[in-house]
A and B are shown apart, each in its own frame.
Chain A
């Protein structure tokens, strides 16, 4: 092969390679990055008890000094940490002023509504102690309800529970005016709200 031919072929190769390189340089630069799989799922606030729809107590023909003590287990099953307040929105009848109400939190070895067998009160004692009528007046909404947390905590987390012993006693000193009176049906509410 002649030197001239070699030089020409070399120039051809260099030119071809240069053209390819130029195509790369002057082509449109492009780059992407992605962040996939974004999603938002709301947490839950859920609270339940073990009453299976039954009342804790229903006493008829009560006499002064008669007392009933029942236990209910309240369980928080939401995913968000929550506060729980206890209150009633019920209208209490005339007997309510003569009924002493005590609500005590604690634990129970084998909760079986409404039995209090095996109930152990928390060291802090009762959450509320006063007449049923006063409870209905002072604790009638979430805002003014009785605040409680499991144990010594400051929140309700998923699957935490507290057993509440509710004791209602017709005062020994109930006057004659209390005869035949009633509290009427009343409902205790445990309301959870996320923190």
Chain B
């Protein structure tokens, strides 16, 4: 092989190696497919108390910290509400998220002793649970919070981190 032929061969090999390295770099940096390659969402719930209704655990202590959530992920937490008044109360819980980032994406179900108080989007829960929780004077009731991102959701949750305060709204019953 002549000198010029050797040079051409060496250059070709060098170019091939360089192109291979660039291709490997691009492949390594490419986000993974599906939902695994995007930032997950996270949800945190707290229960607020007022003078009439006590909550345990009460804010700022969280009752639910979801961890990484992607479509199909579920998280749940529990807390207790107690009526401190001398009246029978109908208590509804209203969500006050610190942002609207997951309003239409996250679904939330609140239930107490097997009765579903509401099952709707986080946005709808801003209006309060559809069914009230009836509490006699001095009575307490456990409440379970289940939050999830529906499996069919494709986008709109990535990297969203929302804290939701559940605030009691009570009405005196006769």
| A interface residues, Cβ below 8 angstroms from B | 47-54, 73-75, 77, 110-115, 158-159
Taking the complex as formed, is B52 at the interface, i.e. its CB lies under 8 A from any CB of chain A?
A: yes
Q: How far is A110 from B84 in the complex, measured between Cα atoms in Å?
A: 7
On chain A, the residues within 8 Å of B7 by CB distance are: none
Where chain B touches its partner, the secondary structure class is loop
On chain B, the residues within 8 Å of A112 by CB distance are: 83-86, 137-138
| B interface residues, Cβ below 8 angstroms from A | 48-52, 54, 58-60, 82-87, 89, 137-138, 170, 172
Since A112-B84, A114-B86 are in contact, a sample of 6 more A-B pairs with Cβ atoms closer than 8 Å, ordered by chain A residue number, is A48-B52, A73-B84, A77-B48, A77-B49, A111-B138, A112-B138
Distance from A156 Cβ to chain B, minimum over Cβ atoms (Å): 13
Query: Which residue on chain B has the smallest CB distance to residue A46?
Result: B50
Q: How far is A47 from B60 in the complex, measured between Cα atoms in Å?
A: 16
Check A48 against B138 for contact (C-beta < 8 Å). Answer: no
Check A111 against B58 for contact (C-beta < 8 Å). Answer: no
Q: How far is A133 from B86 in the complex, measured between Cα atoms in Å?
A: 28
Distance from A1 Cβ to chain B, minimum over Cβ atoms (Å): 15
6 smallest CB-CB distances across A and B, nearest first, come from A48-B51, A112-B138, A52-B85, A50-B84, A49-B51, A111-B84
On chain B, the residues within 8 Å of A50 by CB distance are: 51-52, 84-85
Check B50 against A52 for contact (C-beta < 8 Å). Answer: no
